[in-house]
Structure 1
Amino acid sequence: MRPSVQIARREIAQLFSSKTMFIFAVVLPFVSILFFNTLLSEGVARDLPIAVIDLDNSSISRNVIAQLESSPELTVSHFPINEKKGEELIRLGKVYGLIIIPKNFEVNLKKGKQVNIINQYNSNLILAGGLEYKAFRKVIGTISAGINIEKQRKQGISTQQAIVNFQPLTMNNHVLSNPFTNYSYYLNTGFLAMFFQLFVILTTTYCFGIDLKYNKGNQLLRIADGKLSSIIRGKVLPYTLWFMLVGIIMLYSMYVWQDFPFNGNKIGVLLGLFLLIVANQSFSLLIIAITNSFREALTIASGFAAVSLSFSGITFPIFGMPKVMQWLSQIFPFTHFFELLLDQSQRGFPIYYSLKSIAILVLLCIVPITLGWFRLKVVFNKGKFKHHI
């Protein structure tokens, strides 16, 4: 029997006999897939409660309230008797905004006067406050456009020309980081992939580290006839294949089960997924090579995977970081896989735009293990870590 096959069979047996390995490799990946696909299933906030004070109580003011209610982001839940009561509702967190329609609202509109509708919202809640403000502006803009167009129609101007007269310039916005402005599409894509690579790097670090912790490095070398490459192939390959399957299930959960948009190249994403797995395994081997204990190896591996989220551009764009941080972000495989995944799913770029990400992932598969190779041979010849903690 080839040494690498014998080691692979030993590794599979160890996976099912070790609770920690089984949790890292089998349980937690599926828990994270279920958790994140359920956490942000709505994608964007809907039906944010607001309060309205209608001091005019006219047909037009009631139409404004109906338009606010029909907005998917808002729902009119309270009608306080005065402004003080409305502000109290905001402070208590019962509503996210207070809209006040003034007296003589309809009369002044018919006279052609400009009328102010007051909107008070809680800017401390950045997401909810921003969505309330955006939805309010959209509703008021639509109503204002309707009033203006109707006036022009009464003067004999066609509807199409009235629309052009009201808004001669139109906007064509393109959101680069979250083009669908859907938090489920954007955040789930990042969080699922980040936790996936965390389990890859921890499982690989654990499977090598546990043998060195208990002084079994020499035993593995005897099985492999002294060849480090046979040890690496035998221990890594089962997890590479397993995590490839888990990764495909993760992608299926997003792009089929949750119906996330996918407008790119499927083969390119699968290649990127495979390279992400191998690159993290390569970094695991480098960590094993340079650390002095099993505990230290696991700490550095988990820290490396967790910090990669901050350098991926999810929370803060990479181009806005200082130059040193931009360079540092390039050593994390997750940075390039996330860019590839966004380009090929939500942005729908042709695959050749992602060749740079693929090329860097290939380098990150080769460079770490190359840097740690000779030190790794020393560790396995010794058979154990420097320290046994």
Structure 2
Amino acid sequence: MRDTLKGIGAVVRREVSYLFTRPIYLFAIIGAPLLVTFLLLYMMGGGLPTNMPVAVVDEDHSSASRALIRNLDVFQNSEVTLVTSSMPEALQAMRRGQVYGILHIPAGLLAEAGSARQPKLHYYTNSAYLMAGSFVFRDMKMISELASAKVGLLTGQAKGKTQEEIMATVQPIVVRTEVMSNPWLNYSAYLTTTILPGILQLMVFLLTSYSIGVEIKRGTASSWLRVADGSMVKALLGKLLPQTILFLLVGWSIQAILYGWMGYPLQSGWLPMALGMLCMVLAAQALGIFFIALIPILRMGMSLGSLLGMLSFSISGMSVPVSSMIAPMQALAYIFPLRYYYQIGISQALLGAPFAEAVPYYIALLAFCLLPTLTLPRLKKYLLSVDYIA
């Protein structure tokens, strides 16, 4: 045991000197993840996009149409920036990207509604901008429903009905909406808690493959193994231990920023998410070793890590539910550590589910650590006997 610790310690000292003499290491471990963290949080500081411009085509020019415009402008997500009586002008503004939606108020709106001729409100949204279009659509749909309810209220009052009788007709079923886990509808709380660990995972992939591949490229692999007494296990543990500690401290710092400073939901406390970060860093390092052992060429190993790291954002399930993907993509989703960290975040941070429900995700992350054992003989062979291919 003492000889094992001595060999690992010698490699650790060698790697620590590399960390503090080669800026690329500290930038990849500390600088890049924290820079992206503050940049992304600054960009999404509002939580949700607000005051998105919409146009109103008002052909009625009545007190009712002006009330509709004022009410639409009050909504948090919409801001009426163009009021016109010309539909072509509004469409031109949408094509130019100046507005994301158009509300069309026809002439004689209130008069036709009072005479039971059912006038039609039209609204158009630009779904090329998915988020902006969907939020504006929601506001214009709501204002249309409110306009319909108001007409029903005025018509009922004209017929001498009480407000209770009118409301029973206008809204026979009262719908109560309860938003769980993220009651503020903060889009940043949902996105950044997965994107930022994903960025960290990507940097772990790249730096792990780089730190091993550069030994092959520069011809220092044999001296690295000599320091580790010829043991591949000692060599990898000693090389990656300083990186593991630094990546873990950065990961926990990102969690402290998200759940402490930003106040994002953390229903089950700090321990489950801190443990999830540890498991994800170890899993990503194991995959980094696997990549460079599979293709022991520096640029190819890093390219493979970059490819899988970027695909993680799309296939982890945070943008499109995995259940909605085609069968091959559903199967592919489970080879990414970020997928399991995302599931831990949903289960423990957002929903506050019992810890036992998240245990399979922790086990899946730790299972990635078995992957390098399949390729250690191949990696040692390349380190000792194969010339680097540029």
State if a TM-score over 0.5 links the two structures: yes
Alignment of 1:35-114 (within 5 A): 35-114=39-118
Deviation readout 1:97-151 (Å, 9 max, x if unpaired): 2323222223333445422222233343333222222110112212323443565
Aligned AA (1:351): F
Q: Which residue of 1 aligns with 2:248?
A: 244
TM-superposed CA distance for 1:281, in Å, is 0.8
TM-superposed CA distance for 1:385, in Å, is 5.1
Deviates further, 76-85 or 10-19: 76-85
Alignment of 1:7-18 (within 5 A): 7-18=11-22
Given that 1:54 and 1:101 are in contact with CA atoms closer than 8 Å, whether structure 2 keeps it comes out as yes
Q: Which residue of 1 aligns with 2:6?
A: 2
Alignment of 1:243-322 (within 5 A): 243-322=247-326
Rate the CA distance shift 1:329–1:93 in 2: closer, same or farther, 3 A: closer
Residue 144 (structure 2) pairs with residue 143 (structure 1):
no
Deviates further, 118-127 or 67-76: 118-127
Count of residues paired in the alignment: 385
Residue 378 (structure 2) pairs with residue 375 (structure 1):
yes
TM-superposed CA distance for 1:65, in Å, is 1.2
Give distance in 2, aligned partners of 1:218 and 1:158. 87
Unaligned runs of 5+ in 2: none
TM-superposed CA distance for 1:153, in Å, is 6.7
TM-superposed CA distance for 1:377, in Å, is 3.3
TM-superposed CA distance for 1:202, in Å, is 1.3
Deviates further, 229-238 or 182-191: 182-191
Secondary structure, aligned partner of 2:367: helix
Given that 1:265 and 1:351 are in contact with CA atoms closer than 8 Å, whether structure 2 keeps it comes out as no
Percent identity, aligned pairs only, is 26
Residue 28 (structure 2) pairs with residue 24 (structure 1):
yes
Rate the CA distance shift 1:284–1:96 in 2: closer, same or farther, 3 A: closer
Given that 2:181 and 2:350 are in contact with CA atoms closer than 8 Å, whether structure 1 keeps it comes out as no
Deviates further, 180-189 or 88-97: 180-189
Match of 1:187 among 191, 198, 202: 191
Compute the TM-score of the two structures, normalised by the length of structure 2: 0.89
Residue 373 (structure 2) pairs with residue 387 (structure 1):
no
Give distance in 1, aligned partners of 2:298 and 2:124. 56
Compute the TM-score of the two structures, normalised by the length of structure 1: 0.89
Give distance in 1, aligned partners of 2:157 and 2:256. 52
Rate the CA distance shift 1:96–1:193 in 2: closer, same or farther, 3 A: same
Give distance in 2, aligned partners of 1:287 and 1:94. 46
TM-superposed CA distance for 1:285, in Å, is 1.6
TM-superposed CA distance for 1:278, in Å, is 0.5
Aligned AA (1:36): L
Given that 1:265 and 1:350 are in contact with CA atoms closer than 8 Å, whether structure 2 keeps it comes out as no
Given that 1:292 and 1:385 are in contact with CA atoms closer than 8 Å, whether structure 2 keeps it comes out as no
Unaligned runs of 5+ in 1: none
Given that 2:109 and 2:119 are in contact with CA atoms closer than 8 Å, whether structure 1 keeps it comes out as yes
Rate the CA distance shift 1:304–1:175 in 2: closer, same or farther, 3 A: farther
Aligned AA (2:96): L
Give distance in 2, aligned partners of 1:324 and 1:173. 36
